[in-house]
Amino acid sequence: MENTGHSSLTLPGAIVIAGAIIAIAIIWVNKPANIASQDGENIQQTAVSIMPISNADHILGNPNAPIKIVEYSDPSCPFCKMFHTTMLRIINEYGPTGKVAWVYRHFPIDKEGTRPDGGILHPNAGHESQALECAADQGSNDAFWAFANRLYEVTPSVTSQTPNGLDQKELPNIAAFVKLNVVLFNQCLASGKFKAVVEKHYLDGINAGISGTPHSIIITPSGSQIPLVGAQPYETIKAALDALLPEAK
């Protein structure tokens, strides 16, 4: 998980952790969280519910699924790249039943103070998030997910070996790959048309106590919100879903 480090679990602890995730959900909603502010200092903020899922969201799977996983993601984050593959596997397994859906929201870590030296951790993340919106603007939900899948597939992310992440000149190439009109895509991206949408998602995440990516929230059939922090492995998510699915009947 960026920017607070990555933790993952393997199968031996998956079921135990899945149970713990469900058990602490209500407690977590009211628990104070440390949020990294833009000046790099930690501030205390109470976690609150995320904004309701609506037709404006990007949803893979049944929009009326009783279980939804809302992910706040950063296109430049290497752990988000890993988690994207995991979530595709989850949806390929659970999506056809219509009981689980994946909702993608933006949380670009492109603000001053997100690096230890006070700099910007992912300077291109906001631009890339806007590119995802430009894809959706031209081709609706299918184009959004096609662009997202290709983006996470080809991006080198921001690491010590590739500090600049994806060359932004590749964004039009991704648009062409998923058969968008590249001229219209470039015009949309240059205009900053969706900057406010990306910022709205980011601020919603901040208000909900999110401080790094990927950060997901499982919405249960009863409406409870269960946090899923970091690039958790397939086995952990599967165990949590299997525990919740009986409630969806």
pLDDT tens digit at each of 249 positions of the chain: 875 333 333 333 444 444 444 443 333 333 333 333 222 223 233 345 899 999 999 999 999 999 999 999 999 999 999 999 999 999 999 999 999 999 999 999 999 988 888 889 999 999 999 999 999 999 889 999 999 999 999 999 777 788 879 999 999 999 999 999 999 999 999 999 999 999 999 999 999 999 999 999 999 999 999 999 999 999 999 999 999 999 887
Cα 161 from Cα 171, distance rounded (Å): 21
pLDDT at residue 198 in the model: 98
Residue whose token pair is 């790249």: 81
Residue whose token pair is 């430009």: 134
Instruction: Dig out the tokens for 59 from the structure.
Output: 């949803």
Beta-strand ranges (E) seen in 55-99 are: 58-60, 67-73
Omega prior to 172 cis, within 30 of 0: no
Omega prior to 181 cis, within 30 of 0: no
How far CA 189 is from CA of 153, 173, 179, in Å, comes to: 20, 13, 16
Cα 176 from Cα 180, distance rounded (Å): 6
pLDDT at residue 37 in the model: 28
DSSP string, 146-208: HHHHHHHHH---S-SSSTT-S-TTHHHHHHHHTT--HHHHHHHHHHTTTHHHHHHHHHHHHHT
Strands 32-36 and 42-46: antiparallel
Instruction: Dig out the tokens for 40 from the structure.
Output: 């790099």
Residues 87-120, buried b or exposed e (16+ Cβ, 10 A)? bbebbeebbeeebbbbbbbbbbbbbebbeeeeeb
Domains annotated for the chain, with CATH where assigned, are 11-29+54-248 (3.40.30.10)
Contact 144, 194 (CB under 8 A): no
56 CB-near residues (< 8 Å, 6+ apart): none
pLDDT at residue 31 in the model: 34
